[in-house]
Amino acid sequence: VLETVLYEFPVREIGINIHVLKETDQQRLLCSLSRKGDVAIILSYSGASPYEQECIIELYRNKADIILVSSNHNSKFRNYATHQLLLCSEEDKVHKITTFSSYISAQFIFDLLYSLLYQENYEYNFNNRKKHYMIKE
């Protein structure tokens, strides 16, 4: 739901309806329209934003499954999350060159999630992609 490094295109290629929204109003709307059976992936470095807290509580109320990707091992969002995936938390917020470590950790988690989704129905996904790209053997 929140801005992520998740690849929308490959996930859509395997038939999963995904929405990655960057605008706050669109995110709020999507959170309020969520329902049981929906899955939301929340990427939050620290979990400090009141806006993020509003969204995750709304998702929780609507019984959506919540996958929290965070580097804050004590995030207040943990109580609402169905699953929690922790990022590298050794990056010093002040004395760092860039967000390299956080970015690479998040990238790895999303690549891993995609590979698990793909592998879950490998034959179908492989053949479907082949068909869409008209790959002939």
Q: Does residue 114 register a pLDDT over 70? A: yes
Segment 69-86 shows an average pLDDT of 83
More confident residue, 98 or 70: 70
Q: In what order do the strands lie in the sheet with 39-44?
A: 39-44, 65-70, 83-86
pTM, 2 dp: 0.76
Q: Per-residue pLDDT averaged across 67-84, rounded?
A: 83
Helices (H) and strands (E) counted in the chain, each on its own, are 5, 3
Give the residue-averaged pLDDT of 6-26: 75
75-84 contacts at long range (C-beta below 8 A, 24 or more positions apart): 75/44, 75/46, 75/47, 76/47, 77/42, 77/44, 77/47, 77/52, 77/53, 80/56, 81/42, 81/56
Mean pLDDT of 56-83: 88
Q: What pLDDT was estimated at residue 98? A: 61
Question: What pLDDT was estimated at residue 91?
Answer: 61
Looking at the predicted structure, is the pLDDT value of residue 105 above 70? yes
Residue 32 pLDDT exceeds 90:
yes
Tell me: the pLDDT tens digits for 47-60?
A: 667 888 889 999 99
